[in-house]
Amino acid sequence: MKVCFETFGCRLNKAEALNMEALFLANGWTKTTGHFDADLIIVRGCSVTARAQRDTEKYIARLRAKYPAKRIFTAGCIPDKTPESMIEDAMRSTRHDGMFISDAVPTSTARAFLKVQDGCNGKCSFCIVPKFRGTSISEDFDSVISRAKKFLECGYTEIVVTGCNLSLYLSGGKRLSDLLSALADLPSGGHRIRLGSLEPGPAASDVIDVIADHDNICRFLHVPIQSASSKILAEMRRPYKLSDLHALIGRAAAKIPDISIGCDVITGFPSESDLDFSATCEFIKNNPFSNIHAFPYSERPGTLAEKITPVIPKAVRSERARILTSIVKDKRRSFARKFKNRRVGVVIENASTLSGWTSENLWCSVRSPNQPFAATKKINSTLARRSLVEMIVRDVEYDLLSADLA
Nearest-5° Cα angle at 283, 208 to 258: 40
Q: Which residue has the higher pLDDT, 12 or 213?
A: 213
Arithmetic mean of pLDDT, 186-214: 92
Pairing of strands 289-296, 355-358: unpaired
Domains of the chain with CATH codes: 2-102 (3.40.50.12160), 106-337 (3.80.30.20), 343-405 (no CATH)
**Whole-angstrom distance, CA of residue 280 vs CA of residue 388:** 37
Arithmetic mean of pLDDT, 267-281: 98
**Whole-angstrom distance, CA of residue 161 vs CA of residue 109:** 15
The answer, yes or no, to whether residue 50 has pLDDT greater than 90, is no
Write out the E strands in 172-219. 174-175, 192-195
Arithmetic mean of pLDDT, 55-73: 92
pLDDT reported for residue 372: 45
Q: What is the DSSP string of 316-369?
A: HHHHHHHHHHHHHHHHHHHHHHTTTT-EEEEEEEETTTTEEEETTS-EEEE--T
pLDDT, tens only, 134-180: 899 999 999 999 999 988 888 889 999 999 999 999 999 999 999 99
**Whole-angstrom distance, CA of residue 227 vs CA of residue 277:** 8
Question: Residue 377: left if φ>0, alpha if ψ -120 to 50, beta else—which one?
Answer: beta
Write out the E strands in 125-189. 137-138, 158-163, 170-171, 174-175
pLDDT reported for residue 10: 80
The answer, yes or no, to whether residue 118 has pLDDT greater than 60, is yes
pLDDT, tens only, 218-258: 999 999 999 999 999 999 999 999 999 999 999 999 999 89
Of all residues in the chain, what percent carry a pLDDT higher than 70?
A: 91
pTM score = 0.85
pLDDT reported for residue 108: 60
Q: 24-33, 111-120, 287-296 — which is least confidently predicted?
A: 24-33
The answer, yes or no, to whether residue 45 has pLDDT greater than 50, is yes
pLDDT reported for residue 85: 87
Q: Which residues does 50 contact at the CB level (< 8 Å), separation at least 6?
A: 298, 299, 300
Mean pLDDT of the chain: 88
